[in-house]
Structure formats: C-alpha cells, structure tokens
Amino acid sequence: MTILHANSIHKSYRTGKKHLKVLSDINLEISKGDFVTIMGPSGCGKSTLLNILGTLDKPDEGDLSLCSKNVSQLSDTALSKFRNQHIGFVFQFHHLLPEFTAEENILIPARIAGNQFESKHKAQELFEYFGLKERKDHFPLQLSGGERQRLALCRALVNEPDILLADEPTGNLDTGNANKLIEYLNNLRNEFKQTILITTHNPDVAKEGNIRLILENGTLQTNNLFENP
C-alpha cells in the first residue's frame, strides 16, 4: 500500500534578487512499513524536503499524494486537518511547550483532533512503550535531552499517523541516546508496521533504513555508501 507519492517536486527560495534552487525533480514512493532514510550534509535541503512532504510547506511545482489523496490542491484548513490525522512530526529541536507537562504536551495533537479524552489511554501506552511512565507529570525542562526527544516522538504518534516524519531526530543527541532512539524507531516499524521517514547527516543512522537515499544537487539518489564498504 502506497503511503506517500511525490512526483517531480521542485522548490526554490528567493531572497532579494538571489534565486536559490534547493529541490529539483524529487520523486519518491513510500509504502506502508517502509523505513526511509535521507542523508545529506547541512544545507542540502533536507528540512525543505521534509516540510514539503509533510505539507507544512508547498512546492513550486510537482504533486504530492499522501494516503492516496492528492494534497496539492487542498485549502489550508483542510490541509491542517489532514496533517493532524495522517502525519506525525518530530523536529530536530523538540518544540515541546515548556509550560505544559509531558502528558499535556503529547495530548496536544489529540486535543486539536478533538479526542483528548479518548486519547489519554493511548498516551499512557506510549509513555510505557518509551520508558517515560515516571515522567508524565514532569515539565520538558525537567527531562534529559533523550527523554525530551522520546516525548516528541510520543506526541508525533498519539494520533496514530500513517507516516512519521522526523527531521534529524538524533542530531542533538549523544551516541547512546541516538542509538536508543533508532532502536525505538526500528521497533515501531517491526512491531506496528509504522511507516517512517527520517533525515540525517549521520551514516550510522542512515544505514538503518530499508530505503536509503542521498539528497544531492536537489535530487534523491540511492545511498550506495553501504553496498561498497
């Protein structure tokens, strides 16, 4: 089952007279249960691509379908609703709200969807799965970096998204916490067939995917780094 289909996506930024082409002819197909890694150095366009694939930003050209729906023509309101129901996001910086507890934070997407009470049980399950049960009443500042990133992952999963998008989720973690996060992602894939797409500049993280890509000169290519050691 195809979860995401991107067809000939282009994106440039204009600042003053400068014209910066970031993405040119991106094509991508992701099926249920895929774990896709997109590797590339800082500035190559990973966040730009992820934001477009997650409907947070619009391409200049090209089409995007998610869960068999062409989202290119949806209104902003329809898009927000679609995103809330189908897409889970983890950003490089966790973007947790400091004045809310861990539990309140992860229920935010559920509140937006109008089912925060029904989702309390789901939140509990996620806390247990990610080893955060004892942390649910803590505020983000009272958590370690690794715990905060796992909490951001719980928040991304609370509405049971069809695809989880994570932008350099291990970028600010030490090796131990990064490995732990990757283990959780692998478990989500293996146990729940969760579809996952992450960006990274770290080859050790990139090799975890079953679909491994490199973003280079604005296009996606197969990441051959591991086939020819």
Ligand X SMILES: Nc1ncnc2c1ncn2[C@@H]1O[C@H](COP(=O)(O)OP(=O)(O)O)[C@@H](O)[C@H]1O
By the criterion CB under 5 A, which residues form the site for Mg ion? 46-47
CB nearer to ligand X: give 157 or 214. Answer: 214
Residue 125 C-beta: closest distance to Mg ion, Å:
31
Nearer to ligand X, 15 or 77 (CB): 15
Q: Which C-beta is closer to ligand X: that of 16 or that of 176?
A: 16
Total site size for ligand X, rule CB under 6 A:
12
On whether the CB atoms of residues 33 and 208 are closer than 8 A, the answer is: no
Tokens for 77? Answer: 């309101």
Pick out residues in 124-153 that bind ligand X (CB under 6 A).
Answer: none
Q: Tell me which of ligand X, Mg ion, none is bound by residue 22, counting a contact when its beta carbon lies within the kind-specific cut-off of 5 to 8 angstroms.
A: ligand X
Scan residues 48-77 and list those touching ligand X (CB under 6 A): 48
Q: Which of 8, 13, 97, 193 binds ligand X (CB under 6 A)?
A: 13
Of 113, 25, 115, nearest to 61 by C-alpha is 25
The DSSP bridge pattern shows strands 163-167 and 195-200 to be parallel
Pick one of ligand X, Mg ion, none as the site partner of residue 48 (Cβ within 5 to 8 A by kind).
ligand X
**CB-based burial, 91-100: b 16+ in 10 Å, e otherwise:** bbebebeeee
Percentages (nearest 5) of helix, strand, coil residues in the chain = 35, 30, 35
Q: Is 47 in the site for ligand X (CB under 6 A)?
A: yes
Question: What type of residue sits at position 96?
Answer: L
Closest CB 158 distance from ligand X, rounded Å:
25
Residue 138: DSSP 8-state: S
Binding map of ligand X across residues 26-45, x = CB under 6 A, - = no contact: --------------x-xxxx
- Interface residue with ligand X among 15, 75, 77, 224 (CB under 6 A) is 15
Our CB check for Mg ion shows the closer of 143 and 205 to be 205
How far from each other are the two terminal CA atoms of the chain, in whole angstroms? 32
Reported residue count of the chain is 229
- In angstroms, rounded to a whole number, what is the distance separating the alpha carbons of residues 106 and 120? 10
> Which residue's beta carbon is nearest to the bound Mg ion?
47
Cβ nearer to ligand X, comparing 40 with 109: 40
| Helical ranges in the chain per DSSP H | 46-53, 76-86, 102-106, 108-113, 120-129, 145-157, 175-192, 203-206
We find the least distance from the C-beta atom of residue 123 to ligand X, in angstroms, to be 30
Residues that bind ligand X (CB under 6 A): 13, 15, 20, 22, 40, 42-48
